[in-house]
Amino acid sequence: MYCFCFQFEEKFLESAKDLEKLRNDGSLLFHQVPMVEIDRMKLVLTRAILNYIASKYNLCGKDIKERALVNMYMEGRAGLSEKLLHYSLHPPEEKDTKLALIKEGTTSHYFPVFEAVLKSHEQDYLFGNKLSQADIHLVKLLYHMEELDSSLISNFPLLKAVLCALWALKIRISKLPTVKKFLQPGSLRKLPTDAKGLEEATKIFKV
Q: Give the predicted TM-score (pTM) of the model.
A: 0.78
For 55-110, write each residue's pLDDT tens digit. Answer: 998 999 889 999 999 999 999 988 888 888 888 778 889 888 988 999 898 888 89
Q: Which stretches in the chain have pLDDT values below 70?
A: 1-7, 166-167, 169-170, 173, 186-195, 197, 207
What's the pLDDT at 157? Answer: 87
| Mean pLDDT score of the chain | 83
pLDDT in the model for residue 195: 66
Does residue 8 lie in a domain region?
A: no
CATH number of domain containing 42: 3.40.30.10
In a shared domain, residues 140 and 170 = yes
Q: How many residues does the chain have?
A: 207
Judge if 166 and 70 occupy the same domain. Answer: yes
User: Does residue 3 sit within a domain?
Assistant: no
Domain containing residue 189: 16-57+175-205
- Do 43 and 76 have their domain in common? no
129-132 long-range contacts, CB within 8 A, separation 24+: 131/2, 131/59, 131/169, 132/54, 132/59, 132/60, 132/61, 132/70, 132/73
pLDDT at residue 1 in the model: 45
Q: Are residues 45 and 119 in the same domain?
A: no
What is the chain's alpha carbon radius of gyration, rounded to the nearest angstrom? 19
Number of structural domains in the chain = 2
